[in-house]
Structure formats: C-alpha cells, structure tokens
Amino acid sequence: MDNEEDPPLSWRQTRELFAADHARLRRALAAQLGAEPALTWLHPGAACVFLFRVAHHLWRRGHRKSARLVSQLGTLATGGDFHPASAFGPGLLVPHPTGVALMGGAGRNLAVMSRSGTGMLPKSRDVGAGMGLPFLGDDCTIGPCCGIEGPQRVGSRVRLLTGVALMQDVPDDHDVHAAHPGTPGPRPATAPPRAASAPCPHASLRATLRDFVDDLDAYEAQGRGRADPARRRRMSALLTTQALALGLYRASHCAHAKGWPRIAAALARLNRAVSRATLNPASCVGGGWYLPHPTGVLFNGRAGKGLVLFAYSIAASPGAAFREPAEHGPAIGDGVVIAAHSRILGPVRIGDNVRTGFSGHVLQDIPDDRLVVTPGCRAVLAPRAEPPAGPTGAGAEPAPRPKTGAPCSRRTGRASSTTSGPAGRSRAWLCAFPRRGPACGSSGPRRRRSRRGALAAPSCSGSSTWRGRAPT
Amino acid sequence: MAWTGADMRPWSRVGPGLLVPYPACVSISAVAGRNLTVLAVAGLDPRPEDVESARARTALPRLGDDVTLEHHAGVVGPVRIGSGVRLTAGARVWSDVADGEVLVHAPVRVQRRARSTGPLSVEAIAAPPAGAAADPG
C-alpha cells in the first residue's frame, strides 16, 4: 500500500506499468498455447490488472471514491479483489483472478496463482507496505492455495509452492512449502444431522431489513480507524460487493422463510453469478455479518450475530449434495471469526467467540472462546537449488516466442481434448472457432464467426484464444 | 470464468461424469478419467514455475477414474493420482498417490484463548504455532 506522501502517478507511468503487465501475460499465454494469443485485452487476467492499475492511479491522485468504485467494478467483472492502495511493480501476472485478494506491496514481476492472496492483520509493524501489510521483493511467485497474512517481509525470488500459510519473514532465493501434505488415513466420520431448529425470524421483512442494516454497520465498524474515510459512509458500504452479496442473500432467505422456494433459488443463483458467493437461502445468519471477499465463499448452516467470513472460507456440509437443509451444516455462535481458507464441515456446533487461523479445519464441536490453529499449513523454508531465473518483466529481455509445429488446418483447429459435458463442449467449440477462419484462408461468415468466438471464449472459459497464425 | 468463476483450461482432458457443484474458484488443468468430482475451492493446477512455459499445458496432473476432491483439496504438478482416490477436505498433494487411497488433512490444534476486546484483534492468529520456526533444511 502506498504511503500518504507518495507522489501521484502520471497517466504515462500507469500506462507503462500496465504495458509491462500485459506483455508478461501475452508471453505466458503464448508459451502455454504454443501460438501468439489474440485479444488478450479480454482475458480476465488482463482486465483485472488493468482496472487495478486505473484504481491505483486514481487513489494516488487522491480520488479515493472513484478508485474504490473502479476497484469494485473489477471485482464484479473478474472476481479479482485488489485493494486500490496496493502498490505492485511492473510485470504483475494474475492468470486466474477469480477470488484472488491482494493487499500490500510487491516489487517487479509478482505472479499470483489461483485461490491465493495476501492480506492484512491488525498489527503495528510496517515492513514498507503500510501497517499490518506484507511486502514482497522482485520476481516472487505465490502458488495455488497460498496466503501471506500480516506484516511479513518476503525477499526477492521467493516461491510459495502450494497450501502455504506464510506468517513469517522469508529471505531471498527461497522456496516455501507447507509442512504436511495430505496423508493416508481413514475418512473422517460425519456427525448425524442436528434436530430441526426453531423457525428463524426472517420471514418478517422488517427483521430482514434490520439485519441487513446491521451488516452495513459491521462494514462501517471495520472501517473505523482506517485511513480511508470513504469506507465509513453508508453509500460507500452500499456500493461494495459485500453489500451486494449479503443483500441478495437476505432477500433470498426472506423468500425461503416465507415459503417461496423458487424465488429464493432464483435469487441465490443470481447471487452466485454476480458475487460468486454460494450462500444457501435456507441458511439463517444473524445481523452484523462481515464478508469482505465474497468470491468463493460457501455457506450452508446457521450462525449468530457478528459472523466474520474471510476469503475462500467454507461452512457447509462435507458432501456435494445440492439443496441440503441448513441442519446438515454447522451451527455457529455469536462473534465467530473464520479466517481465510478455513472450513467448518458437517453438523457441528461452534461456540461463541471462536476464531480459526489460516486454513482452519474444523470437523468437531468447538466450545466457546477457542482458537483453532492448523500446524500442517505452517511454512517450511528451503533455499532454492537452481539458480534463480532472470526477471521476465518489462525491463528484461523478452522471452523467445515458441515455435508452433504443425501448420494450421481445420483438423488442428478442432479442440483436441475430451469434452466434459455440455459446458466443456461449448468451451471447446468457442475455442475452436478462432483457430479456424482467418488463418485457414477463409473469409466471410467463417471469419465473422471466428471473431465472435475469439471475443466470447475468454469470458466463457477463461482461456485466451488465438487465430492459428504462426508467430513470426 | 466470468460467468461461473470456474477456470477449466481447454487443454484439460476429462472423462465423462464430471461433477462441479460449486464452480466458483474451481480450477481444472489436468488429465482425468471418468467421474471426477471437484467440490468448492478445489483445484488441479500446474506447478507455479511452469505457468509461464509450455509445461503448463503438458506437465499436468494425471488422475484415474472416480477421483474425488473435497472442499479446499488440491493437486499440484505432474503427479499420478490412482483410481478411486479421495482427497478429503483440505488435503493437498504434490506427489504420486496409489489407487484407492483416502488422503486426509493434518490434524488441527484447539486451544483456549482470552476473550478479545475488539472485533478483529487477531494478534493470536498471527503468531506462528509452536515449532513453526524457519527450517532452512
């Protein structure tokens, strides 16, 4: 995060930063696909970084409200939640931005894989990114399912492999992996479902509105003491993805309590599409729910007042069943804080004032006032064996383009993978269109279909497509 | 990805019977057999160092039939996962797994803590657990 005395960025500087980000994304896609990608501007990884750069530019120039608005727009469009005050050097690469939440600072060429992020802890230490925020050096890579929480200083050329909860400093040139992978063992037993609870009060529209106002108050309460005064205003709270997700959930739960299941299911599906949070309308949650990063959150159960759910947290039944009653999920007390990547599975009872650490794993009842920690996710450091690779950002020599093998033909343009149901077939169909068409010498309707497919494929499948043109 | 939040790479080869009930934040970049089940926030990913190379398309996890990844489970890198393997919630794997194994998450520790004074005073969570000192080996 930038400091107050940091000078504002000019548009030229912002353009140069994004040009470096975009060039790195193009190189990564070209290496992955084996051909020059087309229309990478529509790739979610490019869109989220572009909107973040614009939001950061506005933030540095003092337009805090506009910056937050652009940031929320990026969250809605791509699922990536980057705080506009975060300062990242050129070459930022986020190939799968859905649910990635980033706060803090980093040098050049940061790469963040799927289901990862960095976050703040309310500590007074400042390592260069602001109080309580992490700072990473150059050429760092955050692997899948990793998290860096709190004011940790991470050196240059550090690589987090997978499933790491990093809460300590790391020197340069180190690999970090989790202490324990999954180990063979018996499948955990599942507790029997709880008895049906008393009907919740949310059939009343007044009670639903009261709890929604409490949710907004919880958001404003979390903003007290922060540098951003806009966070403390009601309108600012209403324009967040949290308010959108919780408002749709409250409406769907009210419809469910009134006995309108179709309306409740439709609102829950809309919520899942817009905010990407899966909040079962049968769940009953008290007021004051704080949900800062709704993307990827799954909740099916009951909870009291003041629930806090951080990114990627899950409180639900352990299986894959749809439309399960809330009695198959956990019953959570008041004032519970569930940290990022945590899961509370099955019909367990969680007492009041319980908190979990990163990747907390709860399958049994927890009494009041307990802290659940997960030693298996602690970070283990190891010096990197191979010499570190050189920087690949804007200032570095661009990587050589890969050479494609077979010439383009209609056969090679066809999707080669085994499809996985209608969704997979539609993705393969969309990806195949741009590969046929112009490169195959076609024209007219086929060329138009190719362009439409290239426009639609990144949004529908997350995959950038190309037109089969051999790189020169 | 924009509509569902699921990230399924087009070079993945997945057999029939794929079930993704909660698609938000699911990523699939793998070769898998029949009846793959992927629950919420689970994924099959290439290694981080392969993401910017052609190995992201070739060095994929290879899974047998009837593999289940529960919530928050993950497989990373070019490993072989046998048929009938179940990764329970939170289990992450970066080495080969034989047929029929059930992989579980490491146990957690529940400890008493003092009642907090503020809504988010999580200093206790920030402190690394006992024995979490850096292990340079």
pLDDT tens string A222-263:
765 555 555 556 777 788 888 999 999 999 999 999 989 899
Q: Is the pLDDT of residue A302 over 70?
A: yes
Q: Determine the pLDDT at residue A445.
A: 54
Instruction: Give the confidence band of A92 by pLDDT, cuts at 50, 70, 90.
Output: very high
Q: Determine the pLDDT at residue A384.
A: 72
Q: Is the pLDDT of residue A294 over 50?
A: yes
- State the average pLDDT over residues A193-206: 76
Contact across the interface for B120 and A31, Cβ inside 8 Å: no
Q: How many other CB atoms are there within 10 angstroms of residue B136's CB atom?
A: 10
CA distance linking residue A333 with residue A341, whole number of Å:
20
Candidate from A237-251, A256-270, A413-427, B109-123 with smallest mean pLDDT: A413-427
| Residue of A152, A379, A358 whose CA lies nearest to B134 | A379
Q: Determine the pLDDT at residue A406.
A: 31
Share of chain A above pLDDT 70, in %: 74
Contact across the interface for B92 and A163, Cβ inside 8 Å: yes
Which residues fall within 8 angstroms of residue A472, CB to CB, at 6 or more apart?
none
Whether this model's ipTM surpasses 0.85 comes out as no
Q: Determine the pLDDT at residue A307.
A: 93
Contact across the interface for B72 and A273, Cβ inside 8 Å: no
Instruction: Give the confidence band of A24 by pLDDT, cuts at 50, 70, 90.
Output: very high
Q: Determine the pLDDT at residue A218.
A: 86
Q: Do the first three CATH levels of A11-179+378-383 and A201-377 match, i.e. the same topology?
A: yes
Contact across the interface for A149 and B126, Cβ inside 8 Å: yes
Note whether B9 contacts A: Cβ–Cβ < 8 A.
yes
The shortest C-alpha distance from B24 to chain A (Å) reads 5
3-state secondary structure (DSSP) of residue A324: coil
Residue of A nearest to B46 (CA): A144
pLDDT tens string B60-100:
899 999 999 998 888 988 999 999 999 888 888 888 888 98
Q: Determine the pLDDT at residue A58.
A: 94
Q: Average model confidence (pLDDT) for chain A?
A: 77
The residue among B52, B86, B120 with the most chain A CBs within 10 A of its CB, best to mutate, is: B52
pTM of the predicted structure, to 2 decimals: 0.76
Residue among B19, B45, B122 minimizing CB distance to A113: B45
CB A29 within 8 Å of CB A37: yes
Q: Determine the pLDDT at residue B80.
A: 92
Q: Determine the pLDDT at residue A422.
A: 47
The domain ranges of chain B are: 1-106
In a 10 Å sphere around its CB, with 0-12 CB exposed, 13-18 middle and 19+ buried, how is residue A320 labelled? middle
pLDDT tens string A61-88:
988 888 988 998 888 888 888 999 999 9
Note whether A64 contacts B: Cβ–Cβ < 8 A.
no
Residue of A nearest to B44 (CA): A144
CATH for A201-377 is 2.160.10.10
CB A49 within 8 Å of CB A94: yes
Q: Is the pLDDT of residue B116 over 60?
A: no
Q: Is the pLDDT of residue B30 over 80?
A: yes
Candidate from A12-26, A120-134, A451-465 with smallest mean pLDDT: A451-465
**Homologous superfamily assigned to B1-106:** Hexapeptide repeat proteins (2.160.10.10)
A458 vs B contacts (CB less than 8 Å): 1
CB B47 within 8 Å of CB A457: no
Instruction: Give the confidence band of A56 by pLDDT, cuts at 50, 70, 90.
Output: very high
Which residues fall within 8 angstroms of residue A214, CB to CB, at 6 or more apart?
A286, A287, A288, A289, A305
Instruction: Give the confidence band of A388 by pLDDT, cuts at 50, 70, 90.
Output: very low
Note whether B56 contacts A: Cβ–Cβ < 8 A.
yes
Q: Determine the pLDDT at residue A462.
A: 34
Q: Is the pLDDT of residue A128 over 90?
A: no
Q: Is the dihedral of CA B117, A223, A297, A209 positive or negative?
A: positive
Q: Determine the pLDDT at residue A392.
A: 40
- To which residue do tokens 């109080």 refer? A131
Note whether A376 contacts B: Cβ–Cβ < 8 A.
yes
What CATH class has A11-179+378-383?
A: mainly beta
Q: Determine the pLDDT at residue A123.
A: 79
Which residues fall within 8 angstroms of residue A133, CB to CB, at 6 or more apart?
A1, A103, A104, A105, A118, A120, A126, A127, A150, A151
| Residue of A387, A339, A273, A419 whose CA lies nearest to B17 | A419
CA distance linking residue B120 with residue A306, whole number of Å:
11
- State the average pLDDT over residues A20-41: 84
- State the average pLDDT over residues A172-187: 79
Note whether A320 contacts B: Cβ–Cβ < 8 A.
yes
- More confident of the two residues A419 and A142: A142
Note whether A225 contacts B: Cβ–Cβ < 8 A.
no
pLDDT tens string A323-348:
677 778 899 999 999 988 898 998 89
3-state secondary structure (DSSP) of residue A23: helix
Q: Average model confidence (pLDDT) for chain B?
A: 77
Q: Determine the pLDDT at residue A183.
A: 72
φ, ψ for residue A390, nearest 5 deg:
-70, 165
Note whether A167 contacts B: Cβ–Cβ < 8 A.
yes
Note whether A316 contacts B: Cβ–Cβ < 8 A.
yes
- More confident of the two residues A232 and B107: B107
Note whether B78 contacts A: Cβ–Cβ < 8 A.
no
Instruction: Give the confidence band of B2 by pLDDT, cuts at 50, 70, 90.
Output: low
Contact across the interface for A381 and B134, Cβ inside 8 Å: yes
The shortest C-alpha distance from A8 to chain B (Å) reads 31
Q: Is the pLDDT of residue A267 over 90?
A: yes
Most confident stretch, A138-147, A221-230, A443-452: A138-147
Instruction: Give the confidence band of A5 by pLDDT, cuts at 50, 70, 90.
Output: low
Paired with B63 in beta bridges are B81
A328 vs B contacts (CB less than 8 Å): none
Q: Determine the pLDDT at residue A180.
A: 72
Greatest extent of chain A over all pairs of C-alpha atoms, in Å: 70
In a 10 Å sphere around its CB, with 0-12 CB exposed, 13-18 middle and 19+ buried, how is residue A466 labelled? buried
Candidate from A42-56, A217-231, A382-396, B65-79 with smallest mean pLDDT: A382-396
| Residue of B47, B95, B27, B41 whose CA lies nearest to A182 | B95
Note whether A184 contacts B: Cβ–Cβ < 8 A.
yes
The domain ranges of chain A are: 11-179+378-383, 201-377, 410-461
Q: What is the dihedral of CA A284, A289, A294, A299, to 10 degrees?
A: -30
- State the average pLDDT over residues A404-415: 32
- More confident of the two residues A195 and A56: A56
Note whether A168 contacts B: Cβ–Cβ < 8 A.
yes
Residue among B13, B57, B137 minimizing CB distance to A418: B13
Q: Determine the pLDDT at residue A323.
A: 65
